[in-house]
């Protein structure tokens, strides 16, 4: 499969049967209203399939089924070792369908096939397997109480959990949510982003095949404003896990307060600082500075969009980064040689183009890129773009653009670098590059973000938690810490006669 050409993938795409129905109570079905919404291929603008557009009435039905199966204990009361078997089988099925899933994600999101095949799909399988393998190794606690008492501290699932996910990493973020939620015994209702629902829909059928009882995972495609908010306000939904933008995350917190105070965990936006000191390995740092922004077309919450460069190396370093930017020119996502695809849709392209205009108006220098390319292909392709001569007060340094746009900001001292890095409403990720262990650790500790790299960017795997400080969110995906988001602690206090 690694030898497939763009034509091979296109041929496979042409013969692919795509499921567009919702998955409710163990079956693929249409929305009760019969409404559908076309999902488009961002590379061509062509319709892939009409997808069920679910509304509150479908959500009510799914929630009733999720609640019933939770209360019956069909899944929640299974031994952890039994739940593990299902999750591991599910991971194996994802691996067995890896090419189909990678192709679906490529067609639906516009991500390069080499990424969906080598990154997104393996990451999702690993998440399912890791969460399954971990769940029968989690012990509860006995508290250090007086000798005539016994106090148990146990973890219980929340009940019905709604998971609402974005379009930029649909398959892997879906797995980050549903694997720990289901492993801990919850019943999950997943709402994918309206424009990228296809791999989530496919994943639900594989869950059933793996032995997950009906009602434990249901997938409802539909609009955020009506369906998503209905889930977030529902009195029978006890947990809400969300990845998406900060403004929507704030609304979800309000919905929680207006309804039943459902546990609400948010993974939100970012404007991450990538800090390069003069003594760093500059070749490696320059290559990764480009990757940190242009990977996935910059449609990455952790993108290192603020490149902070020590003034003494600024010009030489920026020249190196521009050389690397040239290897991120967008191409056909079905071509295994493509590193960057189109923007997900026209609206996202327009946002990026608008920020390029804003950067120029603010007085920053457009040092590279800035234009639409491949116009005749039908998709919205944007060049990798680099602004220099910027300062941290500019909108291109403060606001999440979510496109392939880097803002370079010079600094003189370590203290100044830390101050600039922390001057942001966000706190998701960042990195520092220096050969001086003291500088690297001091800066890594001082920057207020959930994940910080030292001499790397995008580091991390399933063993470590992922999430944000400040307005980048509050929950943690991945690792054993993810189980905390989907469980309540219960104390049982026993006194001996
Ligand atoms: P978005 O907030 O517009 O949408 C995310 C999801 O929320 C979608 O499923 C959408 O339909 C739904 N939604 C929208 N309005 C809603 C409402 N009122 N009530 C309930 N649900 C609603 O985000 P997006 O544009 O799809 O994704 C991009 C954003 O996601 C960026 O800000 C990015 O930084 C963030 N993101 C964060 C992480 C992370 O882990 N921190 C990862 C990926 C993406």
Assess if residue 467 is contained within a domain: no
Task: Give the number of the atom of ligand 1 that is nearest the alpha carbon of residue 255.
Answer: 19
Closest CA to 328 of 377, 277, 288, 356: 288
Q: Is the CB of 265 under 6 A from ligand 1?
A: no
Note the pLDDT of residue 3.
80
- Alpha-carbon gap, residue 485 to 373, rounded angstroms: 42
- What average pLDDT score do residues 475-489 get? 98
How many A from CA of 199 to the centre of ligand 1? Answer: 17
Residues assigned a catalytic role = 267
Note the pLDDT of residue 140.
98
Residues 262 and 365 reside in one and the same domain: no
Range of the domain at 66: 6-268+473-491
How many A from CA of 444 to the centre of ligand 1? Answer: 28
Q: Which two tokens stand for residue 152?
A: 């148990």
Spell out where 233-374 has E strands: 239-243, 263-267, 273-276, 306-310, 365-368, 372-373
Task: List % helix, strand, coil for the chain (3-state, nearest 5).
Answer: 45, 20, 35
Render 60-113 in DSSP notation, one character per residue: HHHHHHHHHHHHHTTTTTS-HHHHHHHHHHHHHHHHHTHHHHHHHHHHHH---H
Q: Which residue has the higher pLDDT, 376 or 230?
A: 230
| Residue 477, domain CATH | 3.40.605.10
- What average pLDDT score do residues 72-96 get? 98
Q: Which two tokens stand for residue 377?
A: 């292909």
∠ CA 261-267-271, rounded to 5° = 135
Task: Give the number of the atom of ligand 1 that is nearest the alpha carbon of residue 222.
Answer: 11
- Alpha-carbon gap, residue 336 to 326, rounded angstroms: 17
Q: Atom 42, ligand 1: which residue's CA is nearest?
A: 301
Q: Atom 14, ligand 1: which residue's CA is nearest?
A: 224
How many A from CA of 1 to the centre of ligand 1? Answer: 33
Which residues lie closer than 8 Å to 366 by C-beta, 6 or more apart? 356, 359, 360, 385, 386, 387
- Alpha-carbon gap, residue 107 to 95, rounded angstroms: 19
- Alpha-carbon gap, residue 205 to 24, rounded angstroms: 10
Q: Atom 11, ligand 1: which residue's CA is nearest?
A: 224
Residues 260 and 337 reside in one and the same domain: no
Assess if residue 120 is contained within a domain: yes
Task: Give the number of the atom of ligand 1 that is nearest the alpha carbon of residue 348.
Answer: 25
How many A from CA of 18 to the centre of ligand 1? Answer: 24
Assess if residue 264 is contained within a domain: yes
Assess if residue 454 is contained within a domain: yes
Q: Which two tokens stand for residue 212?
A: 């997950």
Note the pLDDT of residue 215.
98
Q: Is the CB of 450 under 6 A from ligand 1?
A: no
Pocket test for ligand 1, best of 39, 237, 245 (most atoms within 8 A of CB): 245
Q: Atom 22, ligand 1: which residue's CA is nearest?
A: 224
Radius of gyration from C-alpha coordinates of the chain: 23
Residues 259 and 279 reside in one and the same domain: no
Q: Is the CB of 244 under 6 A from ligand 1?
A: yes
Q: Is the CB of 476 under 6 A from ligand 1?
A: no
How many A from CA of 165 to the centre of ligand 1? Answer: 6
Is residue 248 over pLDDT 60?
yes
Q: Is the CB of 358 under 6 A from ligand 1?
A: no
How many A from CA of 167 to the centre of ligand 1? Answer: 8
Q: Is the CB of 270 under 6 A from ligand 1?
A: yes
- What average pLDDT score do residues 42-63 get? 97
Residues 153 and 296 reside in one and the same domain: no
Residues 157 and 133 reside in one and the same domain: yes
pLDDT in tens, 98-132: 999 999 999 999 999 999 999 999 999 999 999 99
Assess if residue 468 is contained within a domain: no
Residues 175 and 211 reside in one and the same domain: yes
Residues 150 and 233 reside in one and the same domain: yes
Residues 201 and 88 reside in one and the same domain: yes
Residues 310 and 233 reside in one and the same domain: no
How many A from CA of 248 to the centre of ligand 1? Answer: 7
How many other C-beta atoms can be found within 10 angstroms of the C-beta atom of residue 284? 12
Q: How many domains does the chain have?
A: 2
∠ CA 210-486-52, rounded to 5° = 55
How many A from CA of 367 to the centre of ligand 1? Answer: 30
Q: Is the CB of 400 under 6 A from ligand 1?
A: yes
In contact, 382 and 404? CB cutoff 8 Å = yes
Note the pLDDT of residue 2.
57
Q: Is the CB of 473 under 6 A from ligand 1?
A: yes
Assess if residue 63 is contained within a domain: yes
Assess if residue 497 is contained within a domain: no
Residues 53 and 188 reside in one and the same domain: yes
Assess if residue 449 is contained within a domain: yes
pLDDT in tens, 441-459: 999 999 999 999 999 999 9
Note the pLDDT of residue 357.
98
- Which residue has tokens 């492993």? 183
Instruction: Provide the pLDDT confidence category of residue 1 given band limits of 50, 70 and 90.
Output: low
Pocket test for ligand 1, best of 227, 237, 244, 249 (most atoms within 8 A of CB): 244
- What average pLDDT score do residues 345-349 get? 96
CA dist 451 → 14, 260, 414, 445, 456 (Å): 40, 31, 19, 10, 11
Residues 134 and 102 reside in one and the same domain: yes
Pocket test for ligand 1, best of 162, 248, 251, 424 (most atoms within 8 A of CB): 248
| Residue 360, domain CATH | 3.40.309.10
Residues 457 and 483 reside in one and the same domain: no
Note the pLDDT of residue 213.
98
Q: Is the CB of 251 under 6 A from ligand 1?
A: yes
């Amino acid at each position: 499969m690694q030898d497939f050409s763009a034509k091979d993938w296109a041929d496979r795409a042409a013969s692919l049967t795509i499921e567009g129905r919702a998955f409710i109570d163990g079956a693929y079905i249409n929305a009760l209203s019969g409404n559908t919404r076309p999902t488009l291929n961002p590379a061509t603008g062509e319709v892939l399939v009409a997808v069920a557009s679910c509304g509150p009435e479908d959500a009510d039905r799914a929630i009733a089924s999720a609640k019933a199966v939770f209360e019956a204990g069909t899944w929640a009361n299974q031994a952890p070792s039994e739940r593990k078997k299902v999750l591991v089988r599910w991971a194996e099925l994802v691996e067995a369908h890896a090419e189909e899933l990678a192709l679906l994600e490529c067609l639906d999101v516009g991500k390069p096939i080499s990424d969906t095949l080598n990154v997104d799909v393996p990451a999702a399988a690993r998440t399912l397997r890791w969460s399954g393998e971990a769940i029968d190794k989690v012990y509860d606690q006995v508290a250090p109480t007086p000798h005539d008492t016994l106090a148990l501290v146990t973890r219980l699932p929340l009940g019905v959990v709604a998971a609402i996910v974005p379009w930029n990493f649909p398959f892997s973020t879906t797995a980050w949510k549903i694997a720990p939620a289901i492993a801990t015994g919850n019943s999950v209702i997943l709402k994918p982003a309206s424009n990228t629902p296809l791999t989530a829909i496919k994943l639900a059928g594989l869950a059933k095949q793996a032995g997950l009882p009906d009602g434990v995972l249901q997938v409802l495609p539909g609009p955020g404003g009506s369906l998503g908010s209905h889930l977030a306000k529902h009195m029978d939904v006890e947990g809400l896990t969300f990845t998406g933008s900060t403004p929507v995350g704030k609304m979800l917190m309000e919905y929680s307060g207006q309804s039943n105070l459902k546990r609400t965990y948010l993974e939100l936006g970012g404007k991450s600082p990538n800090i390069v000191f003069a003594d760093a390995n500059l070749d490696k740092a320059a290559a990764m500075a480009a990757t940190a922004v242009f990977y996935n077309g910059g449609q990455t919450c952790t993108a290192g969009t603020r490149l902070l460069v020590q003034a003494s190396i600024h010009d030489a370093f920026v020249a190196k980064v521009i050389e690397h930017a040239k290897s991120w020119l967008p191409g056909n996502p079905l071509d295994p040689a493509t590193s960057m695809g189109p923007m997900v849709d026209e609206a996202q392209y327009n946002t990026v183009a608008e920020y390029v205009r804003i950067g120029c108006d603010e007085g920053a220098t457009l040092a590279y890129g800035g234009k639409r390319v491949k116009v005749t292909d039908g998709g919205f392709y944007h060049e990798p773009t680099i602004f220099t001569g910027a300062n941290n007060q500019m909108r291109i340094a403060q606001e999440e653009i979510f496109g392939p746009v880097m803002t370079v900001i010079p600094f003189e001292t370590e203290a100044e670098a830390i101050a600039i890095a922390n001057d942001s409403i966000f706190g998701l990720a960042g990195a520092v590059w220096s050969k001086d262990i003291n500088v690297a650790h001091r800066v890594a500790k001082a920057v207020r973000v959930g994940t910080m790299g030292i001499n790397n960017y995008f580091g991390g795997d399933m063993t470590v938690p992922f999430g944000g400080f400040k307005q980048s969110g509050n929950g943690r995906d991945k690792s054993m810490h993810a189980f905390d988001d989907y469980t309540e602690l219960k104390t049982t206090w026993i006194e001996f006669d």
